[in-house]
Structure formats: structure tokens, C-alpha cells
Chains A and B, each alone.
Chain A
């Protein structure tokens, strides 16, 4: 698989604020790449740099094997993007907006092909209504139709489910899966909501304060073998010594708080519990953290499990 996006040491400084800090990652052809981070983590700034809306302070970006600085137009021809909320010309209809951006994309199109795009995003029947009468979800879908109008290889969606109702969120999720599975597009999708990414992404990158926290295949990050168990007892120091002298020693993770962390398979939990009881450990809690969401929340709040996941 060839790299569609290759970001190397990317940084962006806004006066005294570092929005993106030495970020490196790569997206391969066919990936649905989930770009996760809390609001203000640097996701939109990174996406804007990928789309040449913002100039990086440092670092390099390659898309389709081409240097972005010197091949802007050739690269943008192959990208369809919706950056944050899709703001469109409110005084024009859905069809007129789509036609205008199709012209800008310098492609050949017919009324039929534009109507097909509107059909793909479920806007047929509203094509001649002015955009100012549209709901946020409809605008989002029209934004995606505009992003797809020139049949790009890479689709970049920045927080595509922001402001949508549950049905709208499900529609966008299905659309992303359709683009990836049926249309064989590479999709780069950002969100601050992990459960959205969890359901569509093949690879995930989590950033916080502009820095990469963890990157990996979803299958690895969700792997039950990577369950993190948080152990809290009345005497954690003594318990840790006992664990270090037992068969559980190999599962221990570096200590970062008063609790004890172990990385093990979910199926081993009953055995661990039984062993702790046999050792007369006064247990307060034994808490498995098996979803990426727990990890994500921890990462973005205290980074407790970061190294455990990235080992």
C-alpha cells in the first residue's frame, strides 16, 4: 500500500501558541483514518495545513507522493474536503451550489451527474431549494456532495458529525463506510468523539495539544489482549511487590499514579481476581479498561495509559 498522506515533523505556531507540535504520521491508500483529539487539540489546524489553507511553521507534507508546497493544484485535484461546518452560498440552491463548485473543480459534468451526487447524499427532492432553508445535516450532506463532485481519491472530513442529530450522525457514518468499501476512497476523518471513529476507522491517530499521543490500527487498539486493568488496594506498594514476585510480573505496566496497571487478556481477569483473594490483598477496585474510549478519555485528561497502549 502506498502512502497517500505523509506528514513529517509538522508544526504550527500562532504567536505564543503551539497548535501543532512536531506531528508525523502517514495515511495509506484505502485507509479510513480516524484523527482524534479533544476540541483545540490541533486537528483542524493540521487539516488546514493539509489543504494549504494554513502554512506550516515547520515540517513537510507529501500527498500522493508529491510535495504539497510545490504541487498545490495537482494535489487539490485529487482531494475532496469538508473543513469544519460546510458553509455554502445561502442565496443559491443545492443544485446551484454543487454546479458552482463542479465548475471550480474543472471537471466535465452533466445535470444527470450532479443529480447523481445529490442522490448519493440523499438530497434529491430538495435540489432546487435555497441552502438558507436547509438544516445543519442537509448542509453537511451537501458539503460532502461538493467534496465528492470531482471524484477525488482522498476525502478529508473535519468533524463531519458536528451539530447533527443521531440519524444525521448515522447517515454520515454509513456514507463514510460506503465511500471506503464501495467507492474505494481513502478517507481522513477527524472527530473529538471516539465512538464515531471507532465504528468506521481502520487506523487511528490521537493527538493532544498538537502532539501525537498514539497511532495504530484500530484492530490493535481495540485488541482485547491490550486490556488495561487498573488495580487499587488499601496498600498498593505491598501489592505491587507481591505482583512483581509472581507470574503477573510480566503484565505489569509502569506506575504513573497511585494505582497499579496491568496489561493482559480480558480472559485472565478472573484468574487475577482469584490470585489477589488468595494473597489476602485488600482490594478496593479491579477495573478493566477495554475500550478505546476509556483510553482516549485518559489520554486527553492525564495520559495515564499512553505508554501501555503504545508498547
Chain B
């Protein structure tokens, strides 16, 4: 199994296509950081315009933690496409190249083969998120410095102390990893049905777009199915950036406002991953290799 995984990782990282994602992420984060560095204060003033009459702000609102939060909000919608580029190509790409039949004539278990491929795609996803974390968080710390994180929610503002932010980012990235692994599993599942990767990549993105629309529309019919859609739960990394208040309405430092929602969402995502990967293995073992 370990040997199979090594081989799959070797194949992923020897392909030029793999590095498109890393280059795209680096460019996107760099552009956002540059824009905020050049003209970020105007952006923050616009965001805080409704609060400035009521509150007085001191310190550096436009700091690394806010920049990272903005980047995550923008990027986590687009990262699935970069993940689908690899995950949806895992089986279909081999079928397209004709290497699938050669691989399966070797003495390897089909289940281990599929698991190795999924884990390899998952490691790629993990590395991509670490890459985002390094550039979005570490890069922003270097460029903007740190201070308290101020986030404007729909009806209130959350101020998280500088010393209380970092672990929340670790949690948010961990949750984002689960969300992106769900996308990996979806792309992987779709890749077993096609003989080139374009179809599964487009289908993965189409499913995400449709489910995201269904997750956000406040129509009663859609609201009934929303708890079962993975896209409803994918955005709950933001729950790490909300604090609980006590009876006197004082913020409890180091707390999460709704940890149960994070756990529930994580479980839904894990179930999706297990379901999709199990279905992939089952169907793949039953299918004839005709490519």
C-alpha cells in the first residue's frame, strides 16, 4: 500500500499540470496581498463605514489575520477547481493515457490501487492547503504584521484577541481540509466513469456550483435538503472565528460560539468522503476496463 502510494505521488508530482494549481494559488494570493497593501485602508474604511459612527478603533485593523480571512473567503470557493484538476483525473487520466490496463495487469489489489490513488489525491489537496496557509497566513504576517482580528458578521462584530487567533486558523485550515477532501472524493468518484478528465472536472464543478446555489437559497423546498448537501457544511470553517459570550454578555476568550455545528458539519463531510470513496472502489471493481 505504501509503495503504491509512493508511486501515485511520484506520478502526480512529475506532471507539469500539478504545478499549475500552486502557481495559480501563489499568483492569486500575491495579487490580493498586493492590492490590500497598496490600497487596503480604503477597503477597510469601506467595510467599517457603518461602525465608525458608533465605535472608535485603534490599532491596526488591516493586519495579517484579517488579510488571511479575506483570502480564505475568496479562495475556498475557487480551490475546488484546482483540486478537481487532479482528483478527477486520477482514474480517467490513466484510462485516457491507456496506462490503466497496464497497471491492472500488475499483481496489485484493485482496492489498494484505488485507496492509494485517493490518498495520493488527498495528500495533493493537503499540500495545496498548506501552500495556501503558508502564503496567506505566513506571507501576510510578514507583509502586514499582526493585531486583533475584527470580523463583521451580519448583525454583530467579532473582535478576537491577537493571542487567540492562531489556533483558530489551524482549526479553520483543518476544517477546510475536510471540505476540500470531500471535493477530492467527488472528483475521484466521477473519474471512474470517464475516459478523459475533462468530463469529471466539469461535472465536479457543476455539482459544486449547483449544490452551493441550493445551499444558499432560502426557499423552503431547498432548505429541507440543505442539511444533506456537503456545500452547506463546507463553509463552516468560519465558525472558528466566532466567540461565545457569558450571561453578562462578556466574551469568553478561547471559546467557540457553536462547536457542535463544527462537529456536525465535519461528520457530514466525513460521511460524504467515506461514501464516495467506498462507492468508487465498489463500482471500479465491478467495471470492465475497456480503454
With a cutoff of 8 Å between Cβ atoms, the chain A residues found around residue B286 in the complex are 55
CB-CB under 8 A for A73 and B107, given A48-B289, A54-B290, A91-B15: yes
A87 to B96, CA, bound (A): 10
Q: Of the listed stretches B98-106, B156-164, B269-277, name the one at the interface; the rest are far from the partner chain.
A: B98-106
A88 to B286, CA, bound (A): 24
Closest to B109 in A: A73
Question: In the complex, are the beta carbons of A87 and B16 less than 8 A apart?
Answer: no
Point out the residue from B3, B11, B107, B109 that lies within 8 Å of A89, measured CB to CB: B11
With a cutoff of 8 Å between Cβ atoms, the chain A residues found around residue B7 in the complex are 100, 103-104
A48 to B3, CA, bound (A): 25
CB-CB under 8 A for A101 and B97, given A53-B288, A53-B289, A89-B11: no
Number of chain A residues close to chain B: CB under 8 A: 32
CB-CB under 8 A for A51 and B3, given A90-B97, A92-B14, A100-B10: no
A76 to B104, CA, bound (A): 9
Q: Of the listed stretches A78-86, A172-180, A239-247, A271-279, name the one at the interface; the rest are far from the partner chain.
A: A78-86
CB-CB under 8 A for A51 and B288, given A87-B97, A90-B97, A91-B15: no
What is the minimal beta-carbon distance from B92 to any residue of chain A, in angstroms? 14
CB-CB under 8 A for A73 and B108, given A53-B288, A54-B289, A55-B288: yes
Question: In the complex, are the beta carbons of A146 and B102 less than 8 A apart?
Answer: yes
With a cutoff of 8 Å between Cβ atoms, the chain B residues found around residue A104 in the complex are 3-4, 7, 103, 106, 108
Q: List 23 A-B contacts (CB under 8 A).
A: A51-B104, A51-B105, A53-B105, A54-B288, A54-B290, A73-B108, A73-B109, A79-B105, A83-B101, A87-B97, A87-B99, A91-B14, A92-B14, A100-B7, A100-B11, A101-B102, A103-B7, A104-B103, A104-B106, A104-B108, A106-B3, A106-B107, A146-B102
With a cutoff of 8 Å between Cβ atoms, the chain B residues found around residue A76 in the complex are 105-107
A104 to B11, CA, bound (A): 13
Most B C-beta atoms less than 10 A away, residue of A83, A103, A104: A104
> Main SS of the interface on chain B?
helix
CB-CB under 8 A for A103 and B3, given A48-B289, A54-B288, A89-B99: yes
Question: In the complex, are the beta carbons of A88 and B3 less than 8 A apart?
Answer: no
| 4 extra A-B contacts, CB within 8 A, seeds A54-B289, A90-B97, A92-B14 | A53-B101, A54-B288, A55-B288, A104-B106
CB-CB under 8 A for A88 and B105, given A100-B10, A103-B7: no
A52 interface residue, CB < 8 Å from B? yes
Which interface class (under 10, 10 to 19, 20 to 34, 35 or more) fits B? 20 to 34
Closest to B286 in A: A55
Question: In the complex, are the beta carbons of B97 and A89 less than 8 A apart?
Answer: yes
Question: In the complex, are the beta carbons of A105 and B97 less than 8 A apart?
Answer: no
A74 to B105, CA, bound (A): 12
Question: In the complex, are the beta carbons of A83 and B97 less than 8 A apart?
Answer: no
A284 to B181, CA, bound (A): 78
A103 to B104, CA, bound (A): 14
A105 to B15, CA, bound (A): 22
With a cutoff of 8 Å between Cβ atoms, the chain A residues found around residue B14 in the complex are 89, 91-92, 96
Closest to A85 in B: B98
A77 interface residue, CB < 8 Å from B? yes
Most A C-beta atoms less than 10 A away, residue of B4, B6, B97, B99: B99
8 A Cβ contacts from A82-134 to B: 82-92, 96, 100-101, 103-106
With a cutoff of 8 Å between Cβ atoms, the chain B residues found around residue A52 in the complex are 104
With a cutoff of 8 Å between Cβ atoms, the chain B residues found around residue A88 in the complex are 97, 99, 102
Closest to A86 in B: B102
With a cutoff of 8 Å between Cβ atoms, the chain A residues found around residue B4 in the complex are 104
Most A C-beta atoms less than 10 A away, residue of B15, B16, B101, B102: B102
Closest to A92 in B: B14
With a cutoff of 8 Å between Cβ atoms, the chain B residues found around residue A92 in the complex are 14
With a cutoff of 8 Å between Cβ atoms, the chain B residues found around residue A81 in the complex are 105
What is the minimal beta-carbon distance from B171 to any residue of chain A, in angstroms? 38
Question: In the complex, are the beta carbons of B105 and A83 less than 8 A apart?
Answer: yes
8 A Cβ contacts from B1-34 to A: 3-4, 6-7, 10-11, 14-16
Question: In the complex, are the beta carbons of A77 and B107 less than 8 A apart?
Answer: yes
With a cutoff of 8 Å between Cβ atoms, the chain B residues found around residue A89 in the complex are 11, 14, 97, 99
A54 to B4, CA, bound (A): 22
What is the minimal beta-carbon distance from A42 to any residue of chain B, in angstroms? 13
A100 to B7, CA, bound (A): 7
8 A Cβ contacts from A140-199 to B: 143, 146
What is the minimal beta-carbon distance from A104 to any residue of chain B, in angstroms? 4
